Amino acid sequence: MKIKGKLLLTLFLITWVVFAITLLINHGHSYIGKSYFKSDSFLSTKETFIEQLGHYVLEPFNAEKAKENITVTQTEIEEHRNYYGTLADQVENIRAQYSDRIDQAKLDNDKELETLLVKERDAKIADINENFSNDDHVEEKIRKQKELLIEKYAAQQERNRKDFLNEFSYFSYNFTNIETGKVFESGEQITSGLFKETYGNQQSYLTVDSTTYIEPYDLVEGDDFNLYESFRYDGEVSQFEGVISIPKSMLSATNFKDDYQTFKFSKMVFYIIWATGILAAVLLFTVAKPSFQEFTTSNKLKESFLKLPIDVRILTVIIMLLSSFLLLDILGNMISNVYYFGIYNVFPYVFELLTYFVLMMIMISGTIFGAVWTFETLQLWDSYNSEHVKKEIKGAMLYRLADGMQDLFLNRKIGTQSVAILMVAFLAGIGLVGAFMSNELAIIYTILLFFIGLPASIIFLRRMGYLNRIMRQTQEMADGRLTADIRVKGKGPLANHATNLNQLREGVKKSMTEQAKSERLKTELITNVSHDLRTPLTSIITYTDLLKNPNITEEERKHYIEVLDKKSARLKTLIEDLFEVSKMASGNIELTKQRVDLTQLLQQAIGEHEEAFRNANLELRITMPDEPLYAYVDGQKWWRVIDNIVLNAMKYSLDGSRVYVTLNRKGNEAEFIVKNIANYELGENVEELTERFKRADASRHTDGSGLGLAIAQSIVDLHGGRLKIDVDGDLFKVIVSVQLDY
């Protein structure tokens, strides 16, 4: 992206104005109209000096007065008395301390040592008894301990006073106690210098309170003290008038000389920056006045930027803006210390300043261009641009993330586990940083790593491995290899997915088997239909040709006509059955249901075929209930079911055998059963007998159409019933069940 000279000048001026304004906001209150001696750093130094001056010089600790003011309370007496336990405890303890030593002296026959030890023991026991019987005795002990503490505290204060006078030797002071008139002065007294501050003389007096608390803990280390409660020394509260000052000659002796020079130099630099910032603002709105078009010119960088999702663009602008603020803060702090650092390393320091400024200019320029380009793309001023805005929002990273999170939580368990693993990984990263920073955190991190981090990692890796196995076997399924089941491990979502895939695999295998079966049956259907239609049609054509012969006899003509009539009726029946089963298969049939007595319907159907069974040399055995069985069915269609099944038994039963027809109640259903011995060997695929043009007589020598059971199956299905075929050797059984209507 090439930037023209005027646009580059505009960006520089914008950066400089922002730079100057930021420095004014952040540092103006510390420099404008102020000297170093109004800065927080010096004020802290001055307050420390005043506090210690009062404590060590103006109203120092008075040990003798503190001793005179010692008080001992009854509470202190009781605490001292019982410090080592009760009277009995203390006496027993003393005896125990001396017992071994006295016994050893006796063994050594050292009478002198034995006498001294017994005398020392008895003195201590007498002192303990005195402690518990005489308050004055205890009070005197406490008083002596407090006097010793006061002496130690006074010695410490003297050491601190010398350190103070040495550290703040560059300060001069002159104070007068307004009550006693006592004068305290030190150093060169001046009327002007680096710094001067007056107390009194129409200003507030310097008030010093010498009251203090003596802390035994700070003074008795290594000593035999049993007094550990702090006690108060009530000192004087005095007021002073006077002045403190720092002569110019003492600047080199101060501990703030570098800070002082840095402040003066930095103040000058800030004033220059603020003045040039005003000049840059004037130039920005006159010579280099920017136009909106200058920032919207198309270029490769703009095209690349606009390819980013809208939220990534906005985030990029925000990051560049925050980076600009960070760089502005760094530059402000560097300029605040420009003298302190730059005086020793001028060129590296200037180079670092320029580097940060160039980076800041790049960040501010990027912020401006990114904001303008994003705003221009959204065209918020165009009310007809809503579709474009919607498209931008749908392409946003957060939108896609939300969409992905929604998909992630379609299975709540997977979503929860995924978020938990991400949190563990994130916290593990933070914990690793903490472990490098602290030994205590390293121990805690190690424990959490072994008991949470590693188990979570192992679980995650195992799940990923299992997922890879599932994906590989899914690919094999997609490639048509349906040989092996996917192993189901555990009870989690992946295990459920594996179970579902196994069920899908079984469904695919079954579907493929059904498809192969359907293709085979379709081929057989075409073959059988062709055969069954061609057979009577061939006979019709043949006998029609024979009738054309004028030399045939009348008896022959009559015979040919009978054959033609029979074959035509056969062909008509085939075509009608074929149309009917097609209508039923397509659902294009109407049922006229009514309450029908199935017992009476079976009697009528059987009555029409009893003579035909006798002629076929078959014995018909019928079993029916005495009571009527009512069902809500289409009577005509249900009669067709009974008729087809009974005729099927008559056509395919073994000569001289029995046919059993049964109707009974089974629960809330009526059950119609027909059993017979087949005159042909039955195959294994019993279910296929209900397919169209499918017959047990594979040679098709019988006179059936092959549609009887298929029609019966379709009618039963339309009534919500069930038709089942059982074969046991040559025993053929058809069972039809339908719901009763009470």
For residue 605, how many other CB atoms are within 10 A of its CB?
20
Which range, 278-282, 332-336, 395-399, has the best average confidence (pLDDT)? 278-282
Q: Does the pLDDT of residue 694 top 50, yes or no?
A: no
Place of tokens 């703030």: 256
Verify that 304 and 218 share a domain, yes or no. no
Which range, 488-492, 585-589, 648-652, has the best average confidence (pLDDT)? 648-652
Domain that residue 49 falls in: 36-253
Q: What's the pLDDT tens digit per position in 178-191?
A: 999 999 988 666 66
Indicate whether 572 belongs to any domain. no
Indicate whether 167 belongs to any domain. yes
Q: Does the pLDDT of residue 736 top 90, yes or no?
A: yes
Verify that 419 and 389 share a domain, yes or no. no
Distances (CA, A) of 497 to 475, 480, 487: 14, 19, 11
Calpha distance 26→737 (Å, rounded):
93
Bridge-based pairing state of the strands 658-666 and 619-623: parallel
Q: What six digits make up the tokens of 340?
A: 């302190």
Q: What's the pLDDT tens digit per position in 34-44?
A: 888 888 889 99
Verify that 48 and 161 share a domain, yes or no. yes
Verify that 61 and 76 share a domain, yes or no. yes
* Average pLDDT for 283-306: 77
Verify that 613 and 703 share a domain, yes or no. yes
Calpha distance 645→658 (Å, rounded):
15
* pLDDT band at residue 343 under the 50/70/90 scheme: low
Q: What's the pLDDT tens digit per position in 346-393?
A: 778 888 889 999 999 999 988 888 888 888 776 654 544 566 667 777
Last residue of a domain, one of 335, 359, 394: 394
Which contacts qualify for 300-307: CB closer than 8 Å, 24 or more apart? 300/1, 301/1, 302/1, 302/369, 302/373, 305/369, 305/370, 305/373, 306/373, 306/377
Last residue of a domain, one of 345, 361, 394: 394
Verify that 355 and 285 share a domain, yes or no. yes
* pLDDT band at residue 700 under the 50/70/90 scheme: very low
Closest by alpha carbon to 182, among 106, 139, 238, 231?
Answer: 238
Verify that 268 and 374 share a domain, yes or no. yes
Closest by alpha carbon to 237, among 197, 200, 215, 205?
Answer: 205
Q: What is the pLDDT of residue 27?
A: 87
* Average pLDDT for 156-163: 91
Q: What's the pLDDT tens digit per position in 42-76?
A: 999 999 999 999 999 999 988 888 888 888 889 88
Q: What is the mean pLDDT of the chain?
A: 80
> What total of structural domains would you count in the chain?
4
* Average pLDDT for 594-601: 91
Calpha distance 551→87 (Å, rounded):
160
CA atoms 372, 373, 374, 377: torsion sign? positive
CATH code for the domain in which residue 686 is found: 3.30.565.10
Calpha distance 470→540 (Å, rounded):
64
Cα Rg for the chain, rounded, in angstroms? Answer: 57
Last residue of a domain, one of 478, 497, 512: 478
Beta strands in 329-425 (DSSP E): none
Indicate whether 534 belongs to any domain. no
Q: Using an 8 Å Cβ cutoff, are 380 and 392 in contact?
A: no
Verify that 41 and 85 share a domain, yes or no. yes
Higher pLDDT, 447 or 292: 447
Q: What is the pLDDT of residue 320?
A: 92
Calpha distance 471→133 (Å, rounded):
93
Which contacts qualify for 605-609: CB closer than 8 Å, 24 or more apart? 605/639, 605/642, 605/643, 605/646, 606/646, 606/661, 608/643, 609/643, 609/646, 609/647, 609/650
Verify that 80 and 226 share a domain, yes or no. yes
Which range, 123-132, 248-257, 457-466, has the best average confidence (pLDDT)? 123-132
For residue 700, how many other CB atoms are within 10 A of its CB?
14
Verify that 75 and 223 share a domain, yes or no. yes
Q: Using an 8 Å Cβ cutoff, are 489 and 502 in contact?
A: no
Q: What is the pLDDT of residue 252?
A: 84
* Average pLDDT for 435-439: 71
Verify that 362 and 433 share a domain, yes or no. no
Indicate whether 449 belongs to any domain. yes
Q: Does the pLDDT of residue 516 top 60, yes or no?
A: yes
Helix (H) or strand (E) holding 447: helix 439-448
Verify that 429 and 452 share a domain, yes or no. yes
Indicate whether 219 belongs to any domain. yes
Calpha distance 73→146 (Å, rounded):
13
SS3 category, 18:
helix
Indicate whether 510 belongs to any domain. no
User: One-letter amino acid identity for 601?
Assistant: L
DSSP string covering 593-645, please? -EEEEHHHHHHHHHHHHHHHHHHTT-EEEEE--SS--EEEE-HHHHHHHHHHH
User: One-letter amino acid identity for 104?
Assistant: Q
Q: What is the pLDDT of residue 443?
A: 78
Helix (H) or strand (E) holding 240: strand 237-246
Q: What is the pLDDT of residue 512?
A: 73
Bridge-based pairing state of the strands 212-214 and 619-623: unpaired
Calpha distance 198→205 (Å, rounded):
9
SS3 category, 449:
helix
Higher pLDDT, 614 or 524: 614
* Average pLDDT for 624-652: 88
SS3 category, 180:
coil
Indicate whether 90 belongs to any domain. yes
Q: What is the pLDDT of residue 664?
A: 92
Q: What is the pLDDT of residue 53?
A: 92
Q: Does the pLDDT of residue 266 top 60, yes or no?
A: yes
* Average pLDDT for 534-550: 81
* Average pLDDT for 492-519: 71
Indicate whether 527 belongs to any domain. no
* pLDDT band at residue 520 under the 50/70/90 scheme: low
Calpha distance 263→195 (Å, rounded):
15
